[in-house]
Structure 1
Amino acid sequence: MVKYEEMAPYEYFSESVPQGVRAVCVGWLEQGSQFSLGEVDGGFIESLGLICRDYAQMRTRGWHRCELAHQGAGVEYPVTIQVEDDVVSLGGAEVRVVSADGTWLIAPDLVHHYVTEHSYLPPDEFVEAVTARRIAPGV
């Protein structure tokens, strides 16, 4: 994965963002990344799981691996999560939500893994937009 700083202008699939829309990166973590740590509430985790399952965008061919350190035997690939009765594979799409001011906040779907397994604390705007389930329109 290409390194993108937190809240930096989004460039990965820039042609997929409508003209005039401000889009920024959230949670594009890689080995050696410095990131905020903390806890989020269960409502955020539930909403994020549903968004990863139902509204993943910009699907790619193949899977990105989590490059962060793992305890024990590591992690299976692709990374999967349980969302209700469904198993959802992560590492091959993006999560796109809209902040209260209209900015698109774009994260790899692995953001769910980063939050739940690595205690990544996303910016408040992202937590609020995910919890409110304000999904950016698909392309």
Structure 2
Amino acid sequence: MFYEDLSEYDYQDEDAFTDRESGVYALWYRPAYTRLNIGWLEAGKPYSTGTVPTVFVEKLKAVQEVQWMNVCLGVHECDLCPEEGAPEGNGEVRIPGVPGIAYAAPLLITHYITTHGYRPPRVFIDAVLAVDLDAWAAARWPNVTFPWVPDDAERMLE
């Protein structure tokens, strides 16, 4: 599934966070912030390449360990890889940017960066580096450490 970097995300109307520990509990809401696509790559479509700071990749991986966003039942295989053994993803990651902007990336983004040389836009790299990972990792359900989750977000607790 290809979306140009920094184009407006419109794949799903709602954002849904799932509790990683239970895999069951969730909260969802219609975002009031603008979501911008990052790293939705597809074979045959051009994408930026280049080196990225190692600290950025490590932090992005760590964010993906604590945030489960828009998890789907089906999976998407990396079509940039040979068919045999292509990694799969079934969700997304949200990274807050400047107020009112969130970056929407597929879970495969770290694979695209480390294996295929994808270089995300600088604003995304800076936004990932700005994440307070300690606060995100310390949060326990039903708290979600993402700005702009509305107080009236619908929660499935059981």
**Does the TM-score normalized on the shorter chain lie above 0.5?**
yes
Mapped to 2, the partners of 1:75 and 1:97 lie a distance apart of: 31
Mapped to 1, the partners of 2:124 and 2:84 lie a distance apart of: 25
**Deviation at residue 101 of structure 1 after TM alignment:** 4.3
Size of the aligned set, in residue pairs, is 123
Q: CA RMSD in A?
A: 2.1
TM-score, normalised on structure 1?
A: 0.78
2:31 counterpart residue number: 18
Query: What letter matches 2:8 in structure 1?
Result: P
Give the structure with higher Rg (CA).
2
TM-score, normalised on structure 2?
A: 0.69
5+ long unaligned stretches in structure 2? 16-29, 133-144, 154-158
Mapped to 1, the partners of 2:104 and 2:38 lie a distance apart of: 6
1:83 counterpart residue number: none
**Per-residue displacement from partner, 1:98-130 (whole Å, max 9, x unpaired)?**
113441110001000000000100011111111
1:30 is the counterpart of 2:42: yes
Contact 1:23 1:103 in 2 (8 A): yes
Ranges of 4+ aligned residues in structure 1 off by more than 6 Å: none
1:41 counterpart residue number: 53
5+ long unaligned stretches in structure 1? 80-89
Identity %, equivalent residues: 34
Contact 1:24 1:103 in 2 (8 A): yes
Mapped to 1, the partners of 2:122 and 2:84 lie a distance apart of: 28
2:64 counterpart residue number: 52
1:76 counterpart residue number: 85
